A = this chain, B = another copy of it.
Amino acid sequence: MAASEAKNVGILAMDIYFPPTCVLQEELEIHDGVSKGKYTIGLGQDSMAFCTEVEDVISMSLTVVKSLLKNYNIDPKCIGRLEVGSETVIDKSKSIKTWLMQIFEECGNTDIEGVDSSNACYGGTAALFNCVNWVESNSWDGRYGLVVCTDSAVYAEGPARPTGGAAAIAMLIGPNAPISFESKYRGSHMAHAYDFYKPNLASEYPVVDGKLSQTCYLMALDSCYNVFCKKYEKHEGKQFSIFDADYVVFHSPYNKLVQKSFARLYYNDFLRNCSTVDEESKEKLAPYTGLSSEESYQNRDLEKASQQVAKSLYESKVQPTTLIPKQVGNMYTASLYAAFASVIHNRHETLAGQRIVMFSYGSGLTSTMFSFKINEGQHPFSLLNIANILDISKKLESRHVVPPKEFIEALKLMEHRYGAKDFVTSQDTSLLPAGTYFLTHVDSMYRRFYAVKGDGVSNAVSNGH
């Protein structure tokens, strides 16, 4: 039997949800007593979303799935696969996907493949690849795939705390997509590392080696770019350089690393002797030709010089991707796709025919560079409609900025509640938009109960069985 006939498989539709509560990085600098600019310029971040005690990764994913189905008018019966990427563990056995099944059980659709994929911030990319492969496989039954990335990034008191964030993204997968995969250009780098991990099972906070994590990220980037270029060159018979990408979208723990990463790709092009690197750049980067790759990751002068020569390209190819990550923070599995949503928001009118290169990274470590080809699409799966439904400006503008003190208090309460049972939340939904799911209580058997903020009408979600 021939494999699936599906062509141009990729992302048909997207929706995003992030909590309506955020803290400003400049206010956090004052609160933490650090030097001015440490978070805003040093990390490159503007503000950070966080879940209060009524929201979590399950509620956010319920909210965004319901929202996508409603906004694009998709019958839940038309979903044949549902995959979740997350690294925020609420239960070590029961997948987040099973909570989402409540939405589909309501209309009698329980024949939906897929579970949760996990490795740090990479799980969403794994889920996306799995869904796309399913559509291209013999097992495809003609229905849509649905990928959900949901995470809440929180850190213990200390230098990593301002690199948190929270969001959930849903992506509808199928053939004839406006955002389709160039499947043959794909480079992965997977290795054993302890740069960021969560071995303390009783705590929500990770163990982080910030410096190691940055080096691992850049090494993985180099390795993925190398494989990506080789595969491109094998298929296209010509050299690849960053000029062949209209936009480059990076997983964004904080914006500064994205700036460094793009400069690193430019340095790679220089080393590979791409004809696209101009004379001025060659001159400025020449002193660093002899560095070992290990040395090159630590060399501050190289970092500065490469960022300087790549600056104008960064402005055109990367800057438009940074809006949501800078405003919402690190969303772990959702970060890369929030950056991608930013470029759709900023550039949807001119994206058709363009190539977007994506770099996904998850500590531990797993990473892949891959490529999207964009076309206009057809309503409701058009770039314009996706941009309208994402509605980024309004979602960002309608947020509530809370003082750092309230943010810290929220984290303290969550520390106490992490892995706990037998408690009732405040059920305070005053800041949540209508249609948002929220946690009402956790019973003595650790079972979690959610409700939906209605338009005045209470709309409880029943517990399964």
Residues of A within 8 A of B (CB): 1-7, 9, 82, 87, 89-95, 97-99, 101-102, 104-105, 110-120, 122-123, 126, 129-130, 132-134, 136-139, 181, 183-184, 186-202, 206-207, 212, 216, 223, 227, 362-366, 368, 418-419, 421, 445-447, 463-465
Contacts and interface: CB of A to CB of B under 8 A. Distances in A.
B3 A110 contact: no
Q: Give the interface SS of chain A, mostly helix, strand, loop or mixed.
A: loop
A216 B445 CA distance: 18
Given A132-B137, A136-B4, A111 B227 contact: yes
17 contacts: A1-B7, A3-B6, A3-B136, A4-B136, A91-B199, A93-B363, A111-B190, A112-B188, A113-B126, A113-B188, A113-B190, A114-B126, A116-B118, A118-B118, A129-B134, A194-B463, A202-B419
Given A193-B465, A194-B465, A115 B110 contact: no
B363 A94 contact: yes
Nearest to A183: B138
A368 to B, nearest CB: 7
A113 B129 contact: yes
The 6 lowest CB-CB distance pairs between A and B, nearest first, are: A192-B464, A199-B446, A3-B3, A94-B364, A95-B119, A92-B198
B116 A119 contact: yes
A132 B134 CA distance: 9
A6 B129 CA distance: 18
A364 B138 contact: no
Contacts of A9: 138
A293 to B, nearest CB: 14
Given A134-B133, A139-B186, A364-B93, A192 B102 contact: yes
Nearest to A103: B192
Nearest to A92: B198
A90 B198 CA distance: 9
B183 A111 contact: no
A87 B2 CA distance: 34
Contacts of A137: 3, 132-133, 136-137, 183
Contacts of A102: 192
Contacts of A183: 1, 137-139
A119 B132 contact: no
A207 B115 contact: no
A212 to B, nearest CB: 7
Given A199-B446, A201-B418, A364-B93, A138 B193 contact: no
A122 B91 CA distance: 15
A116 B86 CA distance: 11
A227 to B, nearest CB: 5
A2 B136 CA distance: 9
B138 A91 contact: no
Contacts of A89: 89, 92, 201
A375 to B, nearest CB: 15
Contact of A445 (B95, B126, B194, B445): B194
Nearest to A125: B115
A293 B463 CA distance: 20
A447 B194 contact: yes
A388 to B, nearest CB: 30
Given A133-B139, A137-B137, A101 B198 contact: no
Nearest to A100: B192
A201 to B, nearest CB: 4
Given A4-B3, A93-B364, A183-B137, A200 B446 contact: yes
A190 B101 contact: yes
Most buried by B among A87, A117, A184: A117
Nearest to A132: B137
Given A115-B126, A368-B113, A192 B98 contact: yes
Nearest to A219: B465
